[in-house]
Amino acid sequence: MTETYQNWIGGKWVPSASGETFESRNPASMDEVLGAFPRSSAQDVDAAVQASKDAYPDWMNTPAPERADYLLRVALLLEERIEEWSELMTREMGKTLKESRGDIQEGIDFLHYMAGEGRRMMGHTVPSELRDKFSMTVRHPIGVVGLITPWNFPIAIPTWKIAPAIVAGCTSVFKPAEDTPLLATLLVQALEEVGLPPGVLNLVHGYGEEAGAPIVEHPDVRAVSFTGSLEVGRRINERCGALMKRCSLELGSKNVMIVMPDADMDLAVEAASWGAFATSGQRCTATSRLVVHDAAREEFTRRMLERVEGMKVGSGLDPEVELAPVINEEQKHRILEYIEIGKQEGAKLLTGGEELTGDGYDKGNFIAPTVFDDVKPDMRIAQEEIFGPVTAIIRTDDVDEAIRMANSVDYGLSAAIYTHDITNVFKAVKELEFGIVYVNAPTIGAEIQLPFGGMKNTGNGHREAGPQALDEFMEWKAVSVDYSGKVQKAQGID
């Protein structure tokens, strides 16, 4: 029997207005159904926004340390549930158990971090040029916000939005990805369990056009925080622009790792293999391009191939598996199409390149880890986000050219360089047009206390994680208190 789950609106679990549902399935074994979830529409979004509006006045007046305490309590609950939830995450989203644990741990870490921000929500005191006048800045919540998330980090990314919204004093409508509704439900249930007041967070399940777009369009939603594809992000950005809403976008990328001849080859090979194939390449920070110096190329390519060809592919529940399935059939076909494009463009397929079939694979969405060599920087497989277990080796013989190649894409999330040459290190740190730059560390594996986000088409200048996470959800208010008993005028204002 398939369990049926509900939306959470105004502190109550309710079905969608239409009563319709959709299913969540295991990408390793598509006949396993994890649950049925409400297929929501604008009517459900209206109810969730109304509940958010009703809850807002009291919530924005709740002291920030008190708001933050809910985050601390939910972090402690998640710590108890990490094993149980990891297994469910692997079944719902596919990635390996180790990666699922990491996803939840990242959520826990960020909940702790944001709980601390509740006691640190500092403004500034600013000197006034007038006597007997006190000036300061204070932070103010933006109001009702919409939170729309992808499926690849089913706990971490929602907490990256929910936690700062809660501590900022916003109330929100959360629309998780349709591929991972179960994990989103567990997170919301945990927030209910710690007593988060009704309406502070509202959960609306459903498809993007039907349940996501109405959040963006709703006149009472003051800001939209979106993580997902460039295509959808662009549309949301246009609508938010027209509707004069704040909009924070964390979109796709085409990340890069540069390997110089003096790189520690053990580290470089491991970083490239992990960066390219962890979560089956379905990370926004995945190493989808390897710009390798000719002097390092033979050894790097040979060792990388050995490493990749030794990867066990299968269900993420098997502890020996390194490469788990991709999320759904549509994504599987998209990745296989890109592999064909790479071949047609003249790139050399070194390994992989096909769907895996047969025992253990037939019911799921499995693609062999795929490495292309002789890739030219302008090929589509070097320019467009594939979001699958595919990486492209591009040759270079010079660090300046390597950096130019690295920057020659429309995206700019994560870049890495492997070298011990201090000049090349500083050159790369300065010149790489990416929001996250690593030296002798892989393109994946961000830490939550640092700002996370990208340049160019990866986003629109906002950052998640780190103390910057609050900026999405807060306004600055300039406050002056004049106790002079006179009408005073600042210089330059008359």
- List the catalytic residues: 250, 284
Residue 172, strand partner residues: 145, 201
Cβ atoms of 338 and 352 within 8 Å: the answer is no
Give least dist CB 486 to ligand NAD, A. 52
The stretch near ligand NAD (CB under 6 A) out of 209-217, 261-269, 299-307, 394-402 is 209-217
Query: Which of the stretches 31-39, 74-82, 222-230, 414-422 binds ligand NAD when contact is defined by CB under 6 A?
Result: 222-230
CA distance 382 to 490: 56
Residue 289: CA atoms inside 13 Å, Cβ hemisphere, count? Answer: 35
- Residue number, 169 or 412, with CB nearest to ligand NAD: 412
Six token digits for residue 55: 């809850």
Cβ atoms of 381 and 392 closer than 8 Å: yes
Contact with ligand NAD (CB under 6 A): which of 89, 121, 147, 177?
A: 177
Rounded (10°) angle between helices 156-168 and 64-93: 170
Q: Which residues contact 9 (CB under 8 A, 6 or more apart)?
A: 44, 47, 48, 51, 202, 203, 204
Stretch that binds ligand NAD, among 16-24, 35-43, 173-181, 272-280 (CB under 6 A): 173-181
One residue of 104, 203, 223, 284 binding ligand NAD per CB under 6 A: 284
Site stretch for ligand NAD (CB under 6 A), options 85-93, 144-152, 240-248, 299-307: 144-152
Binding region for ligand NAD (CB under 6 A) out of 14-22, 142-150, 303-311, 348-356: 142-150
The answer to whether the beta carbons of residues 85 and 104 sit under 8 Å apart is yes
- Could you tell me which of 281, 374, 362, 355 has the C-alpha nearest to residue 322? 281
Residue from 94, 102, 212, 369 that binds ligand NAD (CB under 6 A)?
212
Among 413, 416, 437, 470, binds ligand NAD (CB under 6 A): 413
Indicate left, alpha or beta for 73 from its phi (over 0: left) and psi (-120 to 50: alpha): alpha
Report in angstroms the alpha-carbon separations of 119 from 113, 115, 192, 284: 11, 8, 22, 31
Rounded least distance, CB 177 to ligand NAD, Å: 4
Q: HSE on the CB side for 397, CA within 13 Å?
A: 1
CB of 284 to ligand NAD, least distance (A): 3
Q: Which is nearer to ligand NAD, 118 or 233 (CB)?
A: 233
Token reading at 347: 């790139």
Q: Based on the number of CB atoms within 10 Å of its own CB, is 456 exposed (0-12), middle (13-18) or buried (19 or more)?
A: middle
Write out the binding residues for ligand NAD, residues 233-272 only, by CB under 6 A. Answer: 235-236, 250-253
Nearer residue to ligand NAD within complex by CB, 334 or 427: 334
Among 102, 107, 141, 150, binds ligand NAD (CB under 6 A): 150
- The CA distance from 399 to 427, in Å, is 9
Which residues from 437-476 bind ligand NAD, rule CB under 6 A?
A: 454, 458
Footprint (CB under 6 A) of ligand NAD, residues 354-383: none
DSSP type of residue 62: S
Helix (H, G, I), strand (E, B) or coil at 227: strand
Task: Name the minimum Å distance from CB 259 to ligand NAD.
Answer: 23
Residue 178 engages ligand NAD in binding (rule: CB under 6 A)? yes
Nearer to ligand NAD, 227 or 301 (CB): 227
Residue closer to ligand NAD, measured from CB, 40 or 273:
40
Q: Minimal distance in Å, beta carbon 337 to ligand NAD? A: 15
Which residues contact ligand NAD by CB under 6 A?
A: 148-152, 157, 175, 177-178, 207-209, 212-213, 216, 227-229, 232, 235-236, 250-253, 284, 385, 387, 413, 454, 458
